[in-house]
Structure formats: structure tokens, C-alpha cells
A and B are shown apart, each in its own frame.
Chain A
């Protein structure tokens, strides 16, 4: 239960940061927090008191399925971390380009629509 509450808090903090903090760098950090909240929720639903879901070669498949935590969620979280990291890298790169142009990181300047 504690992990669900934590993940809920992380998601709310992340959403607050993205929409109400006027700094692009802080927005991106908030996105990372939001992502971590979702990852934690994913891990938590897969946990059933079992062992770490790493299948060793000498363990048969049905024994592995009984003893370990649900492996699907772990695979999902790993994939999600990779995707998230690449998204953040691209966003940080673009914010550097825009910072060089405007000399500020304020969202109200950099992200302004015209």
C-alpha cells in the first residue's frame, strides 16, 4: 500500500511541476518525477512476495513462474526507463539551443506561442 501512496504522490508532484513551475529545466525534472511515479506503480502491482524475476538457465519455466514476482511489469519498467531517458535527453538538448538564443530558461518566454 505504501508504494501506491508514494507513487500517487510522485505523480501529483510531477503534474504540479510540469504545469505550474515556470522554468523549463524544472519542468523536465518534474517529468522525470512523474515517470518515476508511474514506474513505481507498475513495479508495485507486479509484486506478490516472490523473488527477483531473473530466470536462471537451470530453473524450469513453471517453477520460475511460481516463485518469482510477476516478470512482465519489470520488463515494462526497463523499457520505459530507456524510452524516458531518450526523451529527456532530446528535450534537454533543445532547451540548451533555446537558452543560447534567449539567455533565459523561463517557460513563459521559451515556450510562448505566437
Chain B
């Protein structure tokens, strides 16, 4: 447990050391609030991939409140920023459904879907649930093998067809198997697809339809895996995936680099999709639940 905490701290530290350490430095300087300071904050937010629009929005609100509530020094500003960011972040709804839960994992190429699935499976397993994986990425070379290796490592079963098979057929079989074996979680790995390819997005719609036909209201969760280093394009990705498949939450992967993942703010603001998990490394337990409150708090810890 201590190890777990340390790792989270370590990975958050990088985020902190990036954007927010800079923020801290500004704040502790006890500067007067002027345009220069606000410009600096704007620059820092933009450098964290927060995006121009969201940044300007935050800055405008800051200005407004500074004017209305008569704040004067930079350290007062810190609370304000923390407040504003917390306001934007949405808390994911908790799920407590009984019986089979179908989790569909989607995303563009190379964001870390398969690794994230392994992490999810590991998490569910450690909660004492039974997990079945469905290898519905039949397109990319050796994607099925990759998931199979993970299945073996986290010790859960996997439903797979051969390369090039119809992913919907894999999903269909997987649901039958999940029902027959009465597992708690069925996690479906889909092929990475750029959100602009209409034919691949149509394939996703079909997978969605097949699931829906077998079990109305399913999938119970659609998780979009985002690479933390992605820029403003992540907003487009979320938008497009939401259109074809409904997206319930985001798995923000690769947060262990220097990337800040600030684009999540823009997505929260524009599309109201909460971040549920963060990926912090390559091992199966390198994953944490995303909690907006402690996340922002953690970011602002002074060192």
C-alpha cells in the first residue's frame, strides 16, 4: 500500500513539476496581481495542453473574481485557480450494478488500450471478481497475441478468433461465453482507430449494436483511452467517439511521462466526460482511480 502511494506520488510529481511547480513559484513570490502575472499563468496553462479556449476561460474568470472580490497578491490567486480547475473537473458516477458488467474500451491507435485493459482486469481480479477478456482487435498485427499474454499474466480467460475475423463476431461469442460462465466483468479490446475514418467508426457502431442486441442497456461502461501527451486533438477524438459509441469515462494513460494531460480539462468542460482512471507505468498495477479533488490538491502540494 505504501508502495502504491509512493508510485502515485512519483507520477503525480512529474505533472506537478511541470505545470504546477511553475505555478507554485509564481504564487509564493508574493507578487501583485497584474497583467504580466496573468499572462504568465496563461502561458503555463497553455504549455500544459489545457488549450487556448479553456485557458482564456479560466483567466477571464480569475480576472472577474480578482476584480469583484478584491484579491491583491499572487498567493491568493492560487486558491482561485485551484477552485476554477476543480469546478471544471467532473466526478465520475460510481457504478454498483450486480451481475455481468460489459466494459468496452475504445481509442485511437497507440494510446495504450491493451495495456490499460490488462490493468483494469488486474484491478477487478484483485477485488475478487471474475474477468473475461474479448480480443476484438482483429486488425493490428499481433494484437490478439498481445492481449493473450496479458490475460495469462493477470490470470483470466480470453475469447479470441483469428486475425482478420469480424470483431463483432468475437464480441458476440464473448458475451455468450460471459453469460454461460457467469463472470462479473467482460472487457472488450477494440482495434485502435483514428476517429476520422468513417468506415472504422461504423465498425464500432456495429460492435455496439451487437452488444446492445444481446443485452439491452449494455455495454455498461464505454471507456475511452487517451494518451496523456496528446494535444488538442484529444477533444476531437472524444467528440467523435462519443458520437458513435457513447463514452462514459476516460482512462488517461501514460501520465508517467512529462506530459501534463491538461487537455482533460477541455474535454471535461466541453463534453462532460469524466476521467476515471490514470495510467502511471507499464506494469499491471500502475494504475490509479482518478479523483479530481485529491488530484488537484496533489498538484498544488508545495515542496
Partners in one complex: no
